[in-house]
Amino acid sequence: MRKLIISILIGVIFPLYASAGFVFRNDKDVTVVINDSEEQVVHTALEMFQKDYVNVFDRELKTSNQQGNIYIGTIGLNKKAEQFIAIKDIQELKQHEEAFLVSVKDNHLIILGSDKRGTAYGILELSRMIGVSPWEWWADSPVEKKQSFKLKEGFKTLQYPSVARRGIFINDEDWGLTPWSYLTHEPSDTKGQIGPKTHARIFELLLRLRANTFWPAMHTCSVAFYLTPGNKETADKYGIFIGTAHCEPMMRNTNAEWKTAGTGKYDYVNNRENVLKFWEERVKELAGSDNIYTLGIRGVHDGKMQGANTLQEQKAALTNVLKDQREMIAKYVNPNVEQVSQVFIPYKEVLDVYKMGLEVPEDVSLLWCDDNYGYIRHFPDSKERARKGGNGIYYHISYWGRPHSYLWLATNHPAQLYTQMKLAYDKGAQDMWILNVGDIKP
């Protein structure tokens, strides 16, 4: 009778701890088992979760490569984590990029990812579970203290993205992000510099939101991304693919960099050798990084290409441009060029050139655009949906240009955004989504 009464009291007073499962508690440490050989972004995500854990439970989260309560790993890098997972679940993970499994077995918490980003997303899923918003810094979202949080024995969630590349384009940065960065957040004597401290905050938000792609700011008011030391390394730390806008082929900020690194006019038709040299320098520099190469060519800054006046001349030039760019990628990045992420963006007049029959390699993603006011101009047809490279959307919720601009505030109605993007997804634009944002804070 005495034992029964004690058992009942324990069950009443400590109901969270009475049954099997995994419990985070503010009166007990937990230890994470993780290999040092995990990719950098995995360790970055764990550092973020450790900070969140302290903020919620006021306890330290320890790490070990031997024994512990939590096992974290990427498939093939942590056998101790995999031994808790059913073979069918491991096979399911292997079928998807950036997938993760969070499960509880034998009172242990296991996080297993199909690749480095999947593992990182799985770790930060724990932050969401314990109540930390992805917007905890940018939107000043408060973190609530907790005494405990429990996952029941047998808990399992397996998740993976439905869009392969997804992220934001920092655009129209003149009055918001740029001055805040170089005057306030990381003061710099270089006017317009958006440095690694600012980008670390942006990339942390993207990682928490499970976004993986970033197009850096590209106006003349800001220093080009790759000209600021530490920016590239920060992107690598957070596992972010760096791409570039429709008028910035081959990872070059043409608007800012041609005037210092180019020779003559930015005119592929009449100055091909120097234009190719300009692109080649950056491609050689970035070999080995996670990049998405924008192909094609437009003007120095958001205008039609130079040296080709008619649409037919533009089509002929673009055909040769694509050939030269692909050869450059094969030479410096990967001989199997089809394994390198590439995108072609039929923006403004380039859409007219494409519709004239421009042939884009099958493995290159086609990124369709809205009309700058939230209405998508083209959805992939059956032939385009069958392409190996797939399709995507470049969508504005901020715009600076004729006939009138809308910046900063939420001009686009959420219902319109949903309707347009849902339609795009249903019509096969599922490989890349880029959102043009004038600023992040609002």
153-187 pLDDT, tens per residue?
999 999 999 999 999 999 888 888 999 999 999 99
How far is the C-alpha of 57 from the C-alpha of 127, rounded, in Å? 12
Task: Provide the residue-wise pLDDT of the chain in tens; the chain has 442 residues.
Answer: 555 554 444 444 444 444 589 999 999 889 999 999 999 999 999 999 999 999 999 999 999 888 889 999 999 998 888 999 999 999 999 999 999 999 999 999 999 999 999 999 999 999 999 999 999 999 999 999 999 999 999 999 999 999 999 999 998 888 889 999 999 999 999 999 999 999 999 999 999 999 999 999 999 899 999 999 999 999 999 999 999 999 999 999 999 999 999 999 999 999 999 999 999 999 999 988 889 999 999 998 888 999 999 999 999 999 999 999 999 999 999 999 999 999 999 998 999 999 999 999 999 999 999 998 899 999 999 999 999 999 999 999 888 887 788 876 677 889 999 999 999 999 999 999 999 998 887 6
Q: What is the pLDDT of residue 19?
A: 55
Contact 329, 293 (CB under 8 A): yes
The amino acid that residue 348 corresponds to is K
List domains and CATH numbers for the chain: 2-159 (3.30.379.10), 165-437 (3.20.20.520)
pLDDT digit string, tens, across residues 182-197: 999 999 999 999 999 9
Peptide bond before 361: cis, by omega within 30 degrees of 0?
no
Judge whether 437 and 169 are in contact, CB under 8 Å. yes
**Rounded distance between C-alpha atoms, residue 268 and residue 152, angstroms:** 62
**Residues 79, 82, 83, 87, CA torsion sign:** negative
Cα 39 to Cα 81: distance, rounded to the nearest angstrom: 16
User: In whole numbers, what is the pLDDT of the chain averaged over residues?
Assistant: 92
Cβ atoms within 10 Å, residue 105: 18
Q: Is the dihedral of CA 29, 32, 33, 35 positive or negative?
A: negative
Helices and strands per DSSP (H, E), number in the chain:
15, 16
Q: What are phi and psi of 228, to 5 degrees?
A: -105, 115
Range list of H helices, 238-302? 254-261, 272-286
Length of the chain: 442
Q: Output the CA torsion sign for 84, 88, 91, 95.
A: negative
Q: What's the CA gap between 366 and 360, in Å, rounded?
A: 8
The three-state secondary structure class of 40 is: helix
Two tokens at 54?
A: 């302290």
Distance of CA 210 to the CA centre of its chain: 7
346 and 366 Cβ atoms separated by less than 8 Å:
yes
> To the nearest 10°, the Cα dihedral for 120, 213, 432, 45?
10
Cβ neighbours for 180, distance < 8 A, ≥ 6 positions apart: none
As a whole number of angstroms, the distance between CA 77 and CA 283 comes to 30
